[in-house]
């Protein structure tokens, strides 16, 4: 019966007047599955996931999560919500229109629930460190001799923070390492390497001051809870973090004696 009620709302969505919605563009219903429009007097919330956030958090490509939350105001005052209004909350599958579960009362004051955090905001709170560049020889390289390279830094980060009253737990790990050698050559690996077992090796042919760069791609997942919302295993997308240093390469020539 509940699933049929939601499907009927979807079918009548074009005729339904828009209610308060936490979508950036609720009139287009671009975030809803099946052309759904948030019912009158309801509050609807959906979460953005994924995306390629580049270096420093400015990216694109996030999408709406499959499930959204619909809060419908209870007909009578509920003593479980002193000073607030009781709502019945439904978690709805945007692909099928089916209600996955309902719960109540969810107690909301004016302005609640807040807009959920975006993946970019979560990445900002995770605080991915600048990657350290390990290189041997460390002080200066030699022409004709391999320079060994490896990543120096954490192999994973997990944080739990509060964002606009939501509790967010995020975990991320580095998955790709791209070395720019400064002479037009790049090396890409999926392993961080170490001083004993380098991720990449490179031989310089001429003496020069080279800009040695490392871009590390991190990928992660996150969970969010609050105001009845409880989503786990959400895709956090990917972010690339950059570091660069000068690497001086000298030339050593052999001299015949006698």
Which of the four pLDDT bands, split at 50, 70 and 90, describes residue 60? Answer: low
In contact, 10 and 36? CB cutoff 8 Å: yes
What was the pLDDT predicted at 200? 96
Q: Which residues in the chain are classed under CATH 2.60.40.10?
A: 122-250
- Residue 114 DSSP label: P
Which of the four pLDDT bands, split at 50, 70 and 90, describes residue 183? Answer: very high
- Mean pLDDT confidence for 112-132: 93
How far is Cα 27 from Cα 42, in angstroms, rounded to an integer? 15
Residue 9, pLDDT above cutoff 50 = no
Residue 193, pLDDT above cutoff 80 = yes
Residue 52, pLDDT above cutoff 90 = no
Q: Cα separations (Å) of 202 from 135, 136, 183, 194, 241?
A: 10, 11, 10, 15, 22
pLDDT in tens, 215-248: 999 999 999 999 999 999 999 999 999 999 999 9
Residue 43, pLDDT above cutoff 60 = yes
- Mean pLDDT confidence for 127-137: 95
pLDDT in tens, 77-116: 888 899 899 999 999 988 888 889 898 899 999 989 999 9
How far is Cα 107 from Cα 48, in angstroms, rounded to an integer? 24
Return the higher-pLDDT residue of 52 and 30. 52
Q: How many CA atoms lie within 13 A of 9 on its CB side?
A: 25
Domain 122-250 has CATH 2.60.40.10: yes
At residue 31, φ and ψ (nearest 5 deg) are -85, -15
């Amino acid at each position: 019966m509940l699933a049929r009620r939601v499907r009927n709302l979807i079918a009548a969505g074009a005729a339904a007047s828009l209610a308060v919605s936490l979508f950036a563009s609720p009139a287009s219903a671009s975030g809803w599955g099946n052309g759904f429009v948030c019912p009158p007097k309801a509050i609807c919330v959906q979460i953005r996931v994924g995306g390629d956030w580049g270096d420093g958090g400015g990216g694109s490509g996030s999408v709406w999560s499959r499930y959204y939350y619909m809060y419908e105001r209870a007909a009578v005052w509920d003593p479980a919500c002193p000073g607030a209004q009781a709502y019945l909350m439904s978690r709805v599958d945007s692909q099928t229109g089916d209600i996955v579960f309902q719960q109540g009362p969810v107690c909301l004051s004016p302005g609640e629930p807040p807009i959920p955090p975006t993946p970019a905001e979560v990445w900002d709170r995770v605080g991915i460190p600048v990657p350290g560049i390990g290189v041997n020889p460390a002080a200066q390289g030699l022409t004709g001799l391999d320079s060994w390279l490896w990543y120096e830094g954490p192999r994973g980060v997990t944080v739990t923070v509060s964002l606009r009253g939501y509790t967010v737990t995020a975990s991320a790990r580095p998955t790709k390492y791209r070395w720019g050698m400064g002479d037009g050559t790049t090396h890409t690996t999926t392993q961080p390497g170490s001083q004993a077992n380098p991720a990449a090796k490179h031989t310089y042919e001429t003496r020069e001051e080279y800009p040695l760069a490392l871009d590390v791609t991190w990928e992660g997942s996150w969970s969010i809870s609050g105001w009845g919302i409880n989503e786990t295993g959400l895709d956090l997308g990917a972010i690339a973090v950059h570091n660069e240093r000068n690497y001086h390469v000298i030339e050593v020539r052999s001299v015949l004696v006698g």
